[in-house]
Structure 1
Amino acid sequence: MEFVIKISQFLLSLSLLIVLHELGHFIPAKLFKTRVEKFYLFFDVKFSLFKKKIGDTVYGIGWLPLGGYVKIAGMIDESMDTEQMAKEPQPWEFRSKPAWQRLIIMLGGVTVNFLLAIFIYIGMSYFYGDNFLPNNNIKDGVLIESTVANNAGLLTGDKILAVDGNSIENFSEISEKVLFGKQVTVERDGEQVSITLPEDFLAQLIDANESRFISLRQPFVVVQVPDTSANKLSGLKKGDVIVGLNDFKTKYADEVILGLEKYSGQNVSATVLRDGQETKLPLSISEDGKLGLVYAPASTPKTLEALGYYKFETKKYGFFESFPVGLTKAKDKLSSYWDQLSAIFSPSTGAYKGVGGFKAIFDIFPNVWNWQYFWNITAFLSIMLGVINLLPIPALDGGHVVFLLYEIISGRKPGDKFMEYAQVVGFVILIALMLFANGNDIYKAIFK
């Protein structure tokens, strides 16, 4: 059932993005009286799952869910219809239109992608508001769950104040900022410490399979005490929080683990928080530093607040307030994704090792249906699709835009043969990139 939910969200999001992107090309083409021969969701290699001709356009759904397309008459595109291009240009064809009209048609798809992301972020701001943990409310620093990060100089208990001189306002920003940053300023034992991250920090994390390297420090919450546990009769109950072992304070789970190592093979007096009150219980720790029970971190912000660990904040926005907030979120996500893309194309960072294909996109959707998560992921994917399509690679919108700008500036139109060769080169590049991205997914699934 979880797989069905994930694949449903994945296909719904992908379909929505593809249809709206292609609609961004379709509408201006129609406005400029350019014939659109096909409008397809997914690719129809050899056959279609559905197709219907309305007017001059065949609308359909292909069987290969790797994208979609509109086939515009008189345009050298993925259809590689050289037979049509060999004929005399017709007034309804793309190649017969002024360069400025062709430019608008080509920019239509990415324009819709960016507008869709802005619209979603505005809507989410209005309907959901923001629930977040201010960085100032993290009094005892963060949890570092990575040997790579430890080797770089980051330690559990560090309060991360700034990255590359930019202060951190929200806890949710920390991981991404550090991931693509160079200089991290932390507060440690009351003093500010500056840490220079290695240039290939991201690559080291990927190689070590430690993508989750910074998280919130959480309490040690008892979930279950099995019948086979040596502490079955200790009095521990589900929901108890261990906050001390003998004289060793263990406010957080990482401190409990340190305490268990310290007192391994011993009987200790544990301080347990239950219903807001502290009580003492005798516990037995095994030689390998285990209590023989199941524990978990607190599951929700509400639980963490009730236990007195953190204070979350909620902001609600009125209808008109949500517009600048949504626009700022879209701008920040665009900037963030551009930073990621820049890192990927810089071999020294090793970020290319983290590039993923369709499985990587599939994996970011949750196992439960949550509309807030769905729209948040869809908005980010829309920005990602817009940025990628603007890359100056022939066969992508950005490649066509480059040639059109050259034509507008120079007054000389590239020849059809040149455009055909450029399209082939673009396809080779795109196929290579797709093979690399999806190959990374396969490698990680097998070896990581």
Structure 2
Amino acid sequence: MEILIKASQFILSLSLLIVLHELGHFIPAKLFKIKVEKFYLFFDYKFSIFKKKIGDTVYGIGWIPLGGYVKISGMIDESMDTEQMALPPQPWEFRSKPAWQRLIIMLGGVFVNFVLGIFIYVMLMWVYGERYLPNENVKDGIWVTNKLAENLGLQTGDKVLTVDGEKVKKFGSLSLEFINGNRYQIERDGQVIDKEIPEDFISQLMDRGKEAGAFLAPRYPFVIAAVSEDSPNKGSDLQTKDIVVAINGNAIKYFDEAKAQLNIFKNQEIQVTVKRGDKIKEILVKITDDGKLGVATLQLPFSDLEKLGYYKLADNEYSFAEAVPAGLNKSWKTLTDYAKQLKKIFNPSTGAYKGLGGFISIGSVFPEEWSAESFWNITAFLSIVLGFMNLLPIPALDGGHVVFTLWEMITGRKPGDKFLEYAQVVGFVLLITLLLFANGNDIFRLFN
């Protein structure tokens, strides 16, 4: 059922983005009196799930969910309609229109994607606001949870100050900042230290296997979720949601502080102090030979940690006037972060190409339960990413057509139809190769 919910959200989001992107091409084409032969959601190789002709245009839904398209008369596109291009140009065709009109048509889809992403982010800020843990409120530093963070040169208790010279605002964005960054600055025991992020950090991140997950986290209290069946403390007075605040009289605030204390008392009976609601209780426990209590731990949500006084969250509400700049800022941050990631993908030494994903990766980011806020957040992100990707100067993408049109406008020389046909084929081969690689990565990760 969870997979169905994820898939439904993915298809809905993808369909919305494709239709609106293609409308960005369709509307200016019609305004400039160009004939649009087809408007399709998904590709219709050999047959269509649905199609209906209205006026000069056939509207339809294809069966290959790899995108969508509008077939504009007199334009060399993915349809590769060379027969039409061999005929004399007609006044209603794309190729007969001035370069500035053709440029507007080609930029229309990208324009819609960016405007849609910004609009959604503005509305999300207005309706939901922002609730997050400010990085500066992690007063006692981070919790290093595995070897990857240690390889970065981090230690539990470090306070991350900046990445690439930029102050980190939200703790939740810290992992992404390390992925995109090249250097960082921390405070350790009152001393400010500058460190380099290894060039192959993303490769290490992708190669972790069973250690996959967050490589650093805020420090959490030692909260008991349950006593294990084989625990020597089964039947003791330890209860769910007890917070361990001292071990044999030695005060602890965070779970990571407990390990060293417990190791001192292996195979011994000691007193642990727990906070239960508003009460403090002393409980006699037995420590195992590997220095554990034999309990499962509970990671409380930030809202509970705030009530307990561990962290102070930022809870920003915006009027519509305030939501506009906030949404613009988030859109810009999304765009620049993605550009940084793409730059690393094209550098083989980073290993970032290992993280490239296809439809499974995209679908997996949607939640297992319907959440309007999550759905629109992801859709806004995908809209901006789609706009950025389509701007890349690759033949067969909008950006490729834009480059050729700008060349014509600057030099006064229009590229020949044969050149454009060959460029379209090259671009299409590149895109298919990228698509196969990205989805191949998904399948490889799925089976590993």
TM-score, normalised via structure 1 length:
0.96
Preserved contact between residue 124 and residue 373 of structure 2 (Cα < 8 Å): yes
Shift, 1:228, TM fit: 4.7
**Alignment partners' CA distance in 1, 2:225 and 2:237:** 13
- For residue 47 of structure 1, what is the aligned residue in structure 2? 47
Instruction: Kindly provide the amino acid, as one letter, of the partner of residue 391 in structure 2.
Output: L
**Alignment partners' CA distance in 1, 2:173 and 2:227:** 36
- For residue 221 of structure 2, what is the aligned residue in structure 1? 219
Distance 1:54 1:264, change over 3 A: farther
**Alignment partners' CA distance in 1, 2:72 and 2:260:** 65
Matched, 1:413 2:414: yes
**Alignment partners' CA distance in 1, 2:378 and 2:264:** 43
**Alignment partners' CA distance in 2, 1:3 and 1:436:** 23
Shift, 1:149, TM fit: 2.1
Shift, 1:224, TM fit: 2.2
Identity %: 59
Shift, 1:269, TM fit: 1.3
Shift, 1:267, TM fit: 2.1
Instruction: Kindly provide the amino acid, as one letter, of the partner of residue 46 in structure 1.
Output: K
**Alignment partners' CA distance in 2, 1:171 and 1:135:** 4
**Alignment partners' CA distance in 2, 1:3 and 1:124:** 25
Shift, 1:351, TM fit: 1.3
Alignment of 1:76-155 (within 5 A): 76-155=76-155
Deviations 1:139-176 (A, max 9, x none): 11112223122022111111111112221222123211
Preserved contact between residue 162 and residue 168 of structure 2 (Cα < 8 Å): yes
Shift, 1:69, TM fit: 0.9
**Alignment partners' CA distance in 2, 1:416 and 1:164:** 46
- For residue 299 of structure 2, what is the aligned residue in structure 1? 297
SS of residue in 2 equivalent to 1:41: strand
Shift, 1:285, TM fit: 2.3
Preserved contact between residue 249 and residue 255 of structure 1 (Cα < 8 Å): no
- For residue 310 of structure 2, what is the aligned residue in structure 1? 309
**Alignment partners' CA distance in 2, 1:169 and 1:131:** 12
**Alignment partners' CA distance in 2, 1:61 and 1:181:** 41
**Alignment partners' CA distance in 2, 1:9 and 1:260:** 46
Distance 1:62 1:259, change over 3 A: farther
Instruction: Kindly provide the amino acid, as one letter, of the partner of residue 380 in structure 1.
Output: F
**Alignment partners' CA distance in 1, 2:45 and 2:262:** 60
Instruction: Kindly provide the amino acid, as one letter, of the partner of residue 100 in structure 2.
Output: W
Shift, 1:226, TM fit: 4.8
Distance 1:77 1:445, change over 3 A: same
Q: Which moves more between the two structures, 248-257 or 409-418?
A: 248-257
Instruction: Kindly provide the amino acid, as one letter, of the partner of residue 263 in structure 1.
Output: F
Q: Which moves more between the two structures, 342-351 or 359-368?
A: 342-351
SS of residue in 2 equivalent to 1:193: strand
Instruction: Kindly provide the amino acid, as one letter, of the partner of residue 282 in structure 2.
Output: K
- For residue 399 of structure 1, what is the aligned residue in structure 2? 400
**Alignment partners' CA distance in 1, 2:7 and 2:251:** 45
SS of residue in 2 equivalent to 1:47: coil
Shift, 1:92, TM fit: 1.0
Instruction: Kindly provide the amino acid, as one letter, of the partner of residue 90 in structure 2.
Output: Q
Q: Which moves more between the two structures, 161-170 or 432-441?
A: 161-170
Matched, 1:375 2:395: no
- For residue 341 of structure 2, what is the aligned residue in structure 1? 340
Distance 1:25 1:302, change over 3 A: same
Instruction: Kindly provide the amino acid, as one letter, of the partner of residue 242 in structure 1.
Output: V
Preserved contact between residue 205 and residue 211 of structure 1 (Cα < 8 Å): no
SS of residue in 2 equivalent to 1:439: helix
Shift, 1:227, TM fit: 5.1
Preserved contact between residue 224 and residue 239 of structure 2 (Cα < 8 Å): yes
**Alignment partners' CA distance in 2, 1:235 and 1:419:** 77
Alignment of 1:178-327 (within 5 A): 178-209=178-209, 210=212, 212-226=214-228, 228-298=230-300, 300-327=301-328
- For residue 443 of structure 2, what is the aligned residue in structure 1? 442
Deviations 1:246-265 (A, max 9, x none): 24443222223444444333
Instruction: Kindly provide the amino acid, as one letter, of the partner of residue 108 in structure 1.
Output: G
Preserved contact between residue 74 and residue 94 of structure 1 (Cα < 8 Å): yes
SS of residue in 2 equivalent to 1:321: helix
**Alignment partners' CA distance in 2, 1:313 and 1:276:** 26
Instruction: Kindly provide the amino acid, as one letter, of the partner of residue 280 in structure 1.
Output: E
Preserved contact between residue 264 and residue 288 of structure 1 (Cα < 8 Å): yes
Q: Which moves more between the two structures, 90-99 or 192-201?
A: 192-201
**Alignment partners' CA distance in 2, 1:266 and 1:272:** 18
**Alignment partners' CA distance in 1, 2:220 and 2:441:** 33
SS of residue in 2 equivalent to 1:279: strand
**Alignment partners' CA distance in 2, 1:429 and 1:340:** 19
Distance 1:23 1:258, change over 3 A: farther
Preserved contact between residue 180 and residue 337 of structure 2 (Cα < 8 Å): no
**Alignment partners' CA distance in 1, 2:252 and 2:443:** 41
Q: Which moves more between the two structures, 263-272 or 65-74?
A: 263-272
SS of residue in 2 equivalent to 1:79: coil
RMSD after superposition: 1.6
Instruction: Kindly provide the amino acid, as one letter, of the partner of residue 115 in structure 1.
Output: V
**Alignment partners' CA distance in 2, 1:265 and 1:419:** 77
Q: Which moves more between the two structures, 89-98 or 201-210?
A: 201-210
Distance 1:19 1:260, change over 3 A: farther
Preserved contact between residue 249 and residue 273 of structure 2 (Cα < 8 Å): no
Shift, 1:27, TM fit: 0.7
| Residue ranges of structure 2 left out of the alignment (5+ in a row) | none
